[in-house]
Amino acid sequence: MDLRHLRYFIAVAEEQNIGRAATRLHISQPPLTRQIQQLEEELGVRLLNRTPRGVELTQAGALFLDEARNIRAVVEQATERTQRAGQGKLGRLDVGIFGTAILDAIPKLLLAFRRSYPEVKIVLHTMNKGEQIEALRQRRITVGFNRMLAPLPDITTRLVANERLLLAMSHTSPLAAQESVPFPALRDHPLVLFPTGARPNFIDKVMTLCHEAGFEPLVSQEVSDAITGVALAAGGFGVCLVPESTTSLALPGVIYKPLTGLPDHAQVDLSCIYRSDDQSPILEAFLGTIEQMRSTLQSGAALTE
Amino acid sequence: MDLRHLRYFIAVAEEQNIGRAATRLHISQPPLTRQIQQLEEELGVRLLNRTPRGVELTQAGALFLDEARNIRAVVEQATERTQRAGQGKLGRLDVGIFGTAILDAIPKLLLAFRRSYPEVKIVLHTMNKGEQIEALRQRRITVGFNRMLAPLPDITTRLVANERLLLAMSHTSPLAAQESVPFPALRDHPLVLFPTGARPNFIDKVMTLCHEAGFEPLVSQEVSDAITGVALAAGGFGVCLVPESTTSLALPGVIYKPLTGLPDHAQVDLSCIYRSDDQSPILEAFLGTIEQMRSTLQSGAALTE
DNA sequence: GATGATCATACTTTAAAGGTATTAATCGGT
DNA sequence: ACCGATTAATACCTTTAAAGTATGATCATC
């Protein structure tokens, strides 16, 4: 049996007349007669009673007509859904994010994407840099978000946002009186550094900046993540360099100050990563959304709302 | 798109390999490749990613696989239901019955049919003889039940049961003392006759029997149906000839007596009628059930349970 | 870099759907 | 009661499309 048989049978049943149905189907009458006979033979069921002025459905034929219309509808819906999936409008997007950096830019981006593609289910997975790479390769996620990524041949990196560095400290810190802090002034202050994850990491970056400014930092403590770092800074362990978006973390007793005298490359990136050979339309759609959000997500803008 | 495309796609998706799927489908690999390409082209959607060691589903492909399996199941179910309908096992049987004669034999028959064909919905329509003929011609019913039918060219009649005649009377009637009543004795007793419907009817039959026995009956009253006739007999209007199954009507004060001295053709028939050109499998099935019940439904047996 | 596996392409064969002409059956109208 | 119109069925031919065979292109693995 074939969808053609169903289409033909529906026409015949609706016209109650094989000749008219043939006209409607843009074929001639004899092949239609044969197709219907074939259908009946294959089912082993008499679907039509032939009369001198047309045909009429048997009881089985009437039931089959219902079934045929239902099948037609199911097929149409399947086609339509598949096409939407093929256009990236329907499906699922697994996103790898890392704990504390998922502030500001990423929610904005995901919200914009969800507005444009409401039928794509976004599934978030919290994982660190190495886990994201691994998950991308195993197709467990389609995109990841991270900072300071070393280039890899099979993973494409795309900058989403750049953020300035700020200094987090306790409100009792001697630096708290100033409106802004010149970077070289940090030479005399113990630093809380994070994260202690896979290299290259933010600690490496801070160390490099200090060396470029001509001093060896006083390392008070190295911790695993931003929350811990800011918490220790608030507790007076030292000052802590953080990306601007971290200011969303309003821990009690902590204040943030801008830094002066930093080079341009002192900004810290937030990047999106995905498999270089991934051609899925949902990824295309997501990258398109990033492109549209480009200006909104760049440095500074991240704090405007 | 074609059911073949779906079958092929399911095989390819399950094997993750076009060559193996082709083997499973008993075709060679190139036409399978082409059919899949055709399917993708028609949908406008990439369903598979080709790799050097086979194929893997895209997200749209995975969705389409689900849809395809669903369509396959729907088609299978439609086929199966249609076939059952074609065998008379699924569907509906509209039956015309007439009020008071629907005693004993017809319920037994319908119960037996329902046991054999539980998925056929039996719909009962109460209508008299003329209405049944009309309804048969208009296909509003498939079978009717009635008595004393004149033969018609487009309607086939089939005897279902024969019943003896009994005499209904008040327990105060002078005939009530006897164990049985010789038919000619009715010459001296007023008769209640029924029904006053389309000819030929039961009244005609009783008149004929009386004439054959050599007397003109004393007609006390003609009424429209058996219940009324038996009720009048119970009230002393006279005696009333009834088919044996009417004894199911146990009205207060009424007693039934057998008759002697009646010819064989004095039995009254219960017949099933249907359109002579009706070939519906459900009708076939119903007639088959009547055939099986033949012995059970014949005269006498109607009162044994 | 050779080998084996896999999908894609080119070309031929085969099967099946579609077309034309005609027949058979039935109904309505004269 | 016959004739024409209408309808489905059949016979035969044409065209389309699916399946087969042979071969090429690509990539992973040893």
Residues A204-258: tens digit of each pLDDT: 889 999 999 999 999 999 998 888 999 999 999 999 999 988 888 888 999 999 9
* CB neighbour list of residue B108: distance below 8 Å, 6 or more residues apart: B293, B296, B297
pLDDT cut 90: percent of chain B above it: 71
C-beta atoms of A91 and B64 within 8 A:
no
3-state secondary structure chain B: CCHHHHHHHHHHHHHCCHHHHHHHHCCCHHHHHHHHHHHHHHHCCCCEEEECCEEEECHHHHHHHHHHHHHHHHHHHHHHHHHHHHCCCCEEEEEEECCCCCCCHHHHHHHHHHHHCCCEEEEEEECCHHHHHHHHHCCCCCEEEECCCCCECCEEEEEEEEECEEEEEECCCHHHHCCCEEHHHHHHCEEEECCCCCCCCHHHHHHHHHHHCCCCCEEEEECCCHHHHHHHHHCCCCEEEEEHHHHHCCCCCEEEEEEECCCHHHCEEEEEEEECCCCCHHHHHHHHHHHHHHHHHCCCHHHCC
Chain A contact for B36 (CB, 8 A cutoff): no
Q: What is the pLDDT of residue B98?
A: 84
Instruction: Answer yes or no: is B56 CB < 7 A from strand D.
Output: no
Interface test with A, best of B45, B50, B83 (most A CBs within 10 A): B45
Predicted confidence at residue A304, as pLDDT, reads 33
Structure tokens at A162: 């750049």
- Burial (Cβ within 10 Å: 0-12, 13-18, ≥19) of residue B136: buried
Provide the pLDDT for residue A224: 87
Residue B99 has pLDDT above 80, yes or no: no
The residue out of B23, B52, B86 marking a domain boundary is: B86
Same domain, B151 and B283: yes
Per-residue pLDDT at A265: 84
| Any strand C atom closer than 7 Å to A31 CB | yes
Q: Is the CB of A2 under 7 A from strand C?
A: yes
Min Cα–Cα distance to chain A from B73, Å:
10
Of A58, A86, A114, which closes a domain?
A: A86
Q: Is the same domain home to B65 and B108?
A: no
What pLDDT, in 10s, does the model give residues A259-296? 998 888 888 888 999 998 898 999 999 999 999 988 87
Averaged pLDDT score across all residues of chain B: 91
* Averaged pLDDT for residues A85-103: 87
Handedness of CA A122, A125, A130, A135 (dihedral sign): negative
Residues B121 and B181 in one domain: no
* CATH number of the domain bearing residue B287: 3.40.190.10
State whether the beta carbon of B37 lies below 7 angstroms from any atom of strand C. yes
Q: How far lies A258's CA from each of A169, A244, A255, B119, in Å?
A: 11, 9, 10, 81
Q: CB distance from A41 to chain B under 8 Å?
A: no
Same domain, A82 and A11: yes
Nucleotides of C under 7 A from a protein CB: 4-11, 17-21, 25-27
The number of folded domains in chain B is: 3
The structure tokens 């487009």 sit at: B154
Separation between Cα atoms, residue B108 and residue B87, nearest integer Å: 23
Q: Are strands B91-97 and A91-97 parallel, antiparallel or unpaired?
A: unpaired
pLDDT score for A259: 93
Select from A64, A77, A82 the Cβ nearest to the Cβ of B45: A82
Q: Kindly list the residues from chain A whose CB atom is less than 8 angstroms away from the CB atom of residue B75.
A: 1, 71
- Maximum alpha-carbon separation in chain B: 107
- Tell me the CATH number at A76: 1.10.10.10
Q: State whether A79 and A227 are in the same domain.
A: no
What pLDDT score does A191 carry?
94
Instruction: Clarify whether residues A262 and A273 are in a common domain.
Output: no
A19 touches strand D (CB under 7 A): yes
Q: Residue B248: how many CB atoms within 10 A of its CB?
A: 11
pLDDT at residue A301 above 80? no
pLDDT-derived band at A300 (thresholds 50, 70, 90) equals very low
Interface residue B123 vs chain A (CB under 8 A): no
Q: Does A154 touch chain B (CB under 8 A)?
A: no
pLDDT band at B102 (very low <50, low <70, confident <90, very high): low
Any B CB within 8 A of A279 CB: yes
Residue A302 has pLDDT above 60, yes or no: no
Angle between helices A3-15 and A29-43 (to 10 degrees): 110
Same domain, A200 and A279: no
> Does residue B259 contact residue B167 with C-beta atoms inside 8 Å?
yes
Last residue of a domain, one of A86, A121, A148: A86
Which of B2, B78, B92 is opposite residue A3, by nearest beta carbon?
A: B2
B36 touches strand C (CB under 7 A): yes
Domain containing A67: what range?
3-86
Give the nucleotide at minimum CA-to-C1' distance from A19.
Answer: D7
Same domain, A104 and A248: no
Per-residue pLDDT tens over the stretch A22-58: 999 999 999 999 999 999 999 999 999 999 889 999 9
pLDDT in tens, B155-169: 999 998 888 899 999
**Cross-chain Cβ contact B4/A2 below 8 Å:** yes
User: Mean pLDDT across the stretch B44-67?
Assistant: 95
B202-259 per-position pLDDT tens digit: 899 999 999 999 999 999 999 988 889 999 999 999 999 999 888 888 889 999 999 9
Nearest amino-acid residue to D27, taking CA and C1': B52
pLDDT over 90 at B199, yes or no = no
A159-196 confidence digits (pLDDT tens): 988 888 999 999 999 999 899 999 999 999 999 999 88
Question: Which spans in A235-304 are helix H?
Answer: 281-297
Cis peptide before B195 (omega within 30 of 0): yes
Minimum Cα–Cα distance from A49: chain B residue = B279
Same-domain pairing of B107 and B187: no
Distances in whole angstroms, Cα of residue B213 to Cα of each of A302, B71, B185, B204: 115, 73, 10, 14
CB of B53 nearer than 7 A to strand D: yes
Query: Are B30 and B178 contained in the same domain?
Result: no
Same domain, B215 and B262: yes
**Residue-level pLDDT at B304:** 33
- Going by pLDDT thresholds of 50, 70 and 90, the confidence category of residue A104 is confident
A140 and A154 co-located in one domain: yes
Q: Is the pLDDT of residue A66 over 70?
A: yes
Cβ separation of B60 and A3 shorter than 8 Å?
no
pLDDT, residue A305, reads 31
Closest CA to B222 of B198, B193, B249, B200: B193
Q: What does the pLDDT average to over A91-97?
A: 96
C-alpha B93/C-alpha B157 separation (Å) is 17
